[in-house]
Amino acid sequence: MSGGVDSSVAAALLKDSGYEVFGITLRLWPVRKEPGGCCGVSAINEAKLVAKIIQIPHYVLNFRQIFQEKVIDYFCATYLSGRTPNPCIVCNQLVKFGAFLEKAKEISADFVATGHYAKVVKKGSFYLLRKGKDSRCDQSYFLYTLSQKQLALLLFPLGSFTKEEVRMIAHNHSFPNAEKEASQDICFLTDSDYKKFIQKFSPQGLKPGPIYHLDGRLLGEHRGLAFYTIGQREGLGISLANPLYVVKIDRKRNALIVGEREAVFKRELEAAYVNWIGPEPTGSFFARASIRYRSPQSRVKVVPKGRSRVKVYFAQPQFAITPGQSVVFFKRGYVLGGGVIL
């Protein structure tokens, strides 16, 4: 229970359905540095209030160390390596449905439920992951790392509801957070400025370096590779007749490579650390893919290169395919799997 309306309603729906429910909030942020959002003290207090209203026990678990090691450190290290991280996917994989799921099993829980907008469906001997009913809130993209063992233990009560329906249920239960805004994409950034965060927690990794045009011209100096991502136009500090965009981040030379907009479009990518939700493909296949959360799905041909690596070919060029982000494959509303873009 994050203190938000989604996890609150998920708990209420399960309680109303006859489950024996207890709520757990994870304390994730270091002492005296807790932000708002789903990581702070205020969120814990809101979760406690909701638990009291629906009359379920509520507990707080200290997951600060694992969150620091698996999410915060990964977030900083990935940016400093010249790639763009997706901490929500890593948090789901290693914290919520990794360490926390194991803890829940230790205390004899039969299932773990969250407020994610997605569905778990069993077909034959496989558990499958399906997109949520509300396409505006669907979070299946963030869940492609789930294994069969994890899916068997997960409940997503909101998968068949829209956000408006969820808020109505919250009002019917007189929840104080019924109209609470959704938390920002990265819960531990208090002002959505990851650059300030990197400066504060990993200043030693920020080294200025050259900015080169694709044609080899030296155009200026960047402030540190962590401040830039593929496709970025603003903040380059370069004034030329044509707008320039980040085309490549060259960590070996500590250099930023820029070019015109058309240079940012690519037709293929390679991904690693691939996870398949259901049966592992035995050969090439066609699907639809997203290269970032809420990006339009595009038609692709996926060519497996071993068990956990794929080559992906797009029917149409894609803008700003970004190393460190995830490509996720869909077919008829189901998540087939995904991997980290190299």
Domain range annotation of the chain: 5-172, 207-259, 265-341
CA 263 to centroid of chain Cα atoms: 27
pLDDT for residue 240: 84
pLDDT for residue 42: 83
Tell me: pLDDT of 214 over 90: yes
Is residue 91 part of the annotated active site? The answer reads yes
d(CA 122, CA 290) in angstroms, rounded, equals 24
pTM of the model: 0.92
pLDDT for residue 180: 82
pLDDT for residue 267: 97
- One DSSP character per residue, 199-234 reads HHH-GGG---EEEEETTS-EEEEES-GGG--TT--T
Question: Regarding the domain delimited by 5-172, which CATH topology (the fold level of the hierarchy) does it fall under?
Answer: Rossmann fold (3.40.50)
- Specify the 3-state DSSP secondary structure of 64: helix
Domain 207-259: CATH superfamily, name plus number: Adenine nucleotide alpha hydrolases-like domains (2.30.30.280)
- One DSSP character per residue, 80-118 reads HTT----HHHHIIIIIIIIIHHHHHHHTT-S-EE---SE
Tell me: pLDDT of 37 over 70: no
Mean pLDDT score across all residues of the chain = 92
pLDDT for residue 324: 96
- What residue type is 168 in one-letter code? M
Residues sharing a CB contact under 8 Å with residue 8, sequence separation 6 or more, in sequence order: 1, 46, 47, 50, 115, 170, 175, 177
Mean per-residue pLDDT, 308-323: 97
pLDDT for residue 32: 47
Closest C-alpha to 265, from 320, 323, 322 = 320
Tell me: pLDDT of 252 over 70: yes
pLDDT for residue 185: 61
At 43, the pLDDT band (50, 70, 90 cuts) reads confident
Here the tokens at position 261 are 């907009």
Helix (H) or strand (E) holding 197: helix 194-201
CA angle 186, 189, 194 (to 5 degrees): 90
Mean per-residue pLDDT, 253-260: 95
Closest C-alpha to 141, from 2, 3, 289, 300 = 289
Mean per-residue pLDDT, 41-56: 93
At 162, the pLDDT band (50, 70, 90 cuts) reads very high
Strand 326-331 and strand 285-290: pairing?
Answer: antiparallel
- Catalytic residue, from 76, 88, 91, 137: name it: 91
d(CA 58, CA 147) in angstroms, rounded, equals 27
Closest C-alpha to 287, from 224, 321, 329 = 329
pLDDT for residue 247: 97
Instruction: Find the Cα–Cα–Cα–Cα dihedral 115, 121, 122, 127, rounded to 10°.
Output: -60
Mean per-residue pLDDT, 83-92: 94
Q: What is the largest CA-CA distance in the chain?
A: 68
Is residue 187 part of the annotated active site? The answer reads yes
pLDDT for residue 250: 94
- Catalytic residue, from 38, 39, 88, 187: name it: 187
Q: Could you say which architecture CATH assigns to the domain 265-341?
A: Beta Barrel (2.40)
Tens digits of residue pLDDT in 54-72: 999 999 999 999 999 999 9
Tell me: pLDDT of 189 over 70: no
Look at 8-17, 174-183, 283-292 and tell me which has the smallest mean pLDDT: 174-183
At 179, the pLDDT band (50, 70, 90 cuts) reads confident
Tell me: pLDDT of 225 over 50: yes
The values of phi and psi at residue 201, to 5°, are: -100, -20
Tell me: pLDDT of 33 over 60: no
Strand 154-155 and strand 112-113: pairing?
Answer: parallel
Q: For residues 108 and 311, which has the higher predicted lDDT (pLDDT)?
A: 311
Closest C-alpha to 38, from 104, 88, 103 = 88
Q: Are 41 and 34 in contact (CB under 8 A)?
A: yes
Residues sharing a CB contact under 8 Å with residue 275, sequence separation 6 or more, in sequence order: 144, 145, 146, 147, 308, 337, 338, 339
